Amino acid sequence: MRVQRWTRTSKLFTGATLAIAVLLATVPLVFESDVVQKLTNLLILVLLAAMWNALAGYGGLLSVGQQAFIGIGAYGTVFFAGLGVSPYLAMVLATLVAGAISVPISFLALRLRAAQFAIGMWVIAEVISILVRLDQNLGAGTGISLIQLNQYAPNFRQAYTFWLALGFTVIFLSALFFLLRSPLGVSLQAIRDDEDAARSLGVRVAARKRLLFVLAGFGCGAAGVLIGANTLFIEPGSIFSVQWSAYMIFMVLVGGLGTFEGPILGAILLFWIRTTFTQGGPWYLVGLGATAALFALALPRGIWGTIEERLGLRLLPVGYRVVEVTGEKRSA
């Protein structure tokens, strides 16, 4: 009897994932800048989905206020760039600031439970949005352009932003992956399933939640930085919009809450929907809402959760398997 973490499938798939990341790095060298911009958007969605999943899928923290950190990331970039810092350095600084701000916010927000926490986070996002609206230097309510990025030719700018997006996505998804594979991984999943039972087995629930909250603060901050860099114009109404939370919830619920692979799948699906139904409008939102509701009813584990359950498949090895056990299968 022994404990196995890597299977042949997961080795193959993890290898393939790394290969895809390397291949993606060549995208700006091969494709036109509008393709690069679209793929940057896809990476942003993947990053956002993974971070919301870290919160909700592992910490049981249902936040509808992660746009707070998206906004801080985006406006932080404008702020540092305005001080004369080189734009891409400003983006890294803004990410660090968003992550740092999540620490004091966590002491406030994590006192709240369940629905209180969800609404509390929304309120925090609105408060930060109002503070930005009051600041003339940040364009107040009408928004502001990231003019400093105009010093780069569009092709180069798009390529740099894409590489930054790829870097952030790889860093934050790896961080979550290694966290889940570490000895803390089972503790985090235990919190997801039953917080009080986890506590009774020695899991320091508050500290673990804070860890996830801060990780998501950094990650959503990074996503905000990239959104700003990709659109070149930000205004409080859209960057602090609760719509970001709606997107995150959609991607994670449809893909598979509490699975590592699911939210990535959800992000690809949302990206496809957004590029196919470019007209947008109310029917597009109705469609998104209906799809999410349908999944909640018919496939509560989401696409990936269902596949994993039916096929006993694990592509990225965050779990454990006891081998040389006869007669039973995980999926049995």
Partner 1 sequence: MLDGVSLSLGEGEAVGIVGPNGAGKTTLLNVLSGALAPDSGTVGFRGRDVTSRGAADRCQLGIARTHQVPRPFIGMSVFENVLVGATAGGRRRGAEAYDLCLRVLDQTALTLLANRRAESLGLLQRKRLELARALAVEPSVLLLDEIGGGLTDAETAALVETVASLRDRGIAVLWIEHIVHLLIQVVSRLVCMDAGRIIAEGPPDAVVAQAAVIDAYLGGRS
- Closest approach of Cβ 3 to partner 1, in Å? 4
- Binding flag, residue 321, partner 1 (CB under 8 A): yes
Centre a 10 Å sphere on the Cβ of residue 285 and count the other Cβ atoms it contains.
Answer: 12
- Closest approach of Cβ 187 to partner 1, in Å? 5
- Closest approach of Cβ 121 to partner 1, in Å? 24
Residue 207 or 294: which CB sits closer to partner 1?
207
In angstroms, what CA-CA distances link 202 with 92, 184, 206, 214, 293? 36, 12, 12, 22, 36
- Binding flag, residue 322, partner 1 (CB under 8 A): yes
- Closest approach of Cβ 320 to partner 1, in Å? 6
Residue 133 or 199: which CB sits closer to partner 1?
199
315 residue type, one letter = L
Q: Which range touches partner 1 (CB under 8 A), out of 27-35, 203-211, 227-235, 243-251?
A: 203-211
d(CA 222, CA 245) in angstroms, rounded, equals: 15
Q: Which range touches partner 1 (CB under 8 A), out of 6-14, 66-74, 133-141, 194-202?
A: 194-202
- Binding flag, residue 135, partner 1 (CB under 8 A): no
Of 72, 166, 203, 220, the one binding partner 1 by CB under 8 A: 203
DSSP output for 258-290: T-SSHHHHHHHHHHHHHHHSTT-HHHHHHHHHH
- Binding flag, residue 41, partner 1 (CB under 8 A): no
Q: Phi first, then psi: what are they for 160, rounded to 5°?
A: -60, -45
Centre a 10 Å sphere on the Cβ of residue 207 and count the other Cβ atoms it contains.
Answer: 10
- Binding flag, residue 258, partner 1 (CB under 8 A): yes
- Closest approach of Cβ 255 to partner 1, in Å? 15
d(CA 239, CA 69) in angstroms, rounded, equals: 10
- Binding flag, residue 181, partner 1 (CB under 8 A): no
- Binding flag, residue 200, partner 1 (CB under 8 A): yes
- What the block records as the tokens of 328 is 């039973």
Of 34, 84, 196, 279, the one binding partner 1 by CB under 8 A: 196
- Binding flag, residue 187, partner 1 (CB under 8 A): yes
In angstroms, what CA-CA distances link 320 with 5, 90, 262, 314? 5, 41, 18, 10
Q: Which range touches partner 1 (CB under 8 A), out of 59-67, 162-170, 202-210, 280-288?
A: 202-210
- Binding flag, residue 179, partner 1 (CB under 8 A): no
Ordered alpha helix ranges (H), 54-153: 59, 67-82, 87-109, 114-133
Residue 187 or 245: which CB sits closer to partner 1?
187
CA angle 197, 200, 204 (to 5 degrees): 100
Residue entry with tokens 């009774």: 200
- Contacts with partner 1 by CB under 8 A lie at 1-3, 183-184, 186-187, 189-190, 192-194, 196-205, 258, 309, 319-322, 325-330, 332
